[in-house]
Amino acid sequence: MSARTETAYAKLNLALHVRAREADGYHALETLFAFCEDGDVLTLQDAHGLRLTGPFGAGLAGENDNLVNRAGREWTARFGGAPAGFLLDKRLPIASGIGGGSADAAAALRLLARRDGIAIEDAGVREIARRLGADVPACLLSRAARGEGRGDDLAVVDLCGLAGAPVLLVNPGVAVSTSAVFKAWDGVDRGVLGPSVDDAMAGRNDLQQPALALCGVIAEVLAWLAAQPGAGFVRMSGSGATCFALFADADQRDQAAAAVSGGWWSLATRLRSA
């Protein structure tokens, strides 16, 4: 990537425990974020506004309040500087539980920070990220991290043996509303997420069952992934509908990727090691 280009890394929730529904409509949760090596690609441009390309770009056409545009406006209001323009190569499906819009906004903040010589650890940058959405602070880091509160109270963790693991993402081609899935959550606190990566692997995604109730095909994706040779860990990410499997080796992942149903989207990648 050039100095004017950033990958908006796909986000995975290795576990996601929803602990409570708060009075303001948000939810208290505990999650372990991990990130893939691939995602959307965002380029900083001299022309103002947002240009869209890529297989999912058309799905954002006419969206005036796109998170990338909001990130640019928030940045100018906080730090000044020239208004930003971007080209977004939208490679990840929309409303798919892998942080697409949040990752795009985070990539915009990283590009603007680089342009203006401001560290992404700067309190002002972190404040913008929090205002843009609960997943944006984690996507700004794009490193494995434990998230608490609304998911934006972060502590970086070491993925240990999972760093660089081959992973296959599969989405059945159905957009799922995050707000609808959270609304369908039954409100039952099923317990704490422990501090380790092993705890996350033994944990759960509390949004999986409400997502299945809204989008039954997710069950087919999970079952298909679990049946693939070498798939050792299978889970839905975020509020769905994207599911993923970690594989023992890249060859087995690639064989599974080649067998994905023609109507489903997939991405063969690896977990980021940093």
The span from the CA of 205 to the CA of 239, in Å, is 9
Q: What is the mean pLDDT of the chain?
A: 95
Residue 64 has pLDDT above 90, yes or no: no
User: Does residue 241 have a cis bond before it (omega within 30 degrees)?
Assistant: yes
Query: Which residues make Cβ contacts (< 8 Å) with residue 238, sequence separation at least 6?
Result: 11, 13, 16, 97, 98, 99, 135, 178, 205, 207
**Segment 171-190, tens digit of pLDDT:** 999 999 999 999 999 999 99
* Residue 251 known to be catalytic: no
Catalytic residue among 11, 90, 104, 206: 11
DSSP state of 160: G
Domains of the chain (ranges, CATH numbers): 5-156 (3.30.230.10), 161-270 (3.30.70.890)
In this prediction, residue 82 carries a pLDDT of 85
Residue 124 Cα to chain centre, angstroms: 22
In this structure, the number of other CB atoms found within 10 A of the CB of residue 213 comes to: 13
> pTM here?
0.96
Catalytic residue among 38, 40, 104, 135: 135
Cα angle 92, 105, 63 (rounded to 5 degrees) comes to 75
* Residue 11 known to be catalytic: yes
In this prediction, residue 1 carries a pLDDT of 61
Query: Which residues make Cβ contacts (< 8 Å) with residue 7, sequence separation at least 6?
Result: 1, 37, 38, 39, 40, 41, 42, 107
The span from the CA of 211 to the CA of 195, in Å, is 26
